[in-house]
């Protein structure tokens, strides 16, 4: 059986038509498994996690979260790369580099041709 397409980074197993480059997402998954999973999922999705040992810490964390809710924005963008797979992104404020931005660090682009 001959393939008409150029060689791919992940050659298919005979009888399979899917091509996936999974090293980057698998590295993220295995890295997350070695950490606090809920905190890692929150971080990867642009969120945050907090832990507390008592009522006063819980109340303090709730106050911080309620402040974050009032001071949040939703951003969207259209990627310039059409290459499928995992892509990293960095969100920052050009005129206020001293400010902290909570945002996801990557996104997954699907193959539009499939």
Q: Is the pTM of this model over 0.85?
A: no
Q: What pLDDT sits at residue 88?
A: 87
* 6 contacts: CB under 8 Å, gap ≥ 6: none
- Residue 4 pLDDT grade (very low, low, confident, very high; cuts 50, 70, 90): low
What is the average per-residue pLDDT within 72-96? 85
pLDDT in tens, 93-105: 889 989 888 888 8
51-76: buried (b, 16+ CB within 10 Å) or exposed (e) per residue? eeeeeeeeeeeeeeeeeeeeeeeeee
State the DSSP string of 45-90.
TT------SSHHHHHHHHHHHHHHHHT--------S----EEEE--
Instruction: Name the maximum alpha-carbon separation found in the chain.
Output: 68
pLDDT in tens, 15-46: 555 566 788 878 877 776 777 878 877 877 77
């Amino acid at each position: 059986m001959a393939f008409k397409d150029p060689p791919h980074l992940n050659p298919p197993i005979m009888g399979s038509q899917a091509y996936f480059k999974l090293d980057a997402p698998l590295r993220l998954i295995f890295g997350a498994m070695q950490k606090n999973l809920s905190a890692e999922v929150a971080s990867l999705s642009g969120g945050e996690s907090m832990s507390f040992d008592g009522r006063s810490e819980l109340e303090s964390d709730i106050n911080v979260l309620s402040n974050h809710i009032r001071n949040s924005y939703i951003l969207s963008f259209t990627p310039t790369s059409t290459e499928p797979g995992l892509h990293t992104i960095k969100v920052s404020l050009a005129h206020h580099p001293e400010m902290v931005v909570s945002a996801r660090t990557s996104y997954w682009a699907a193959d539009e041709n499939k």
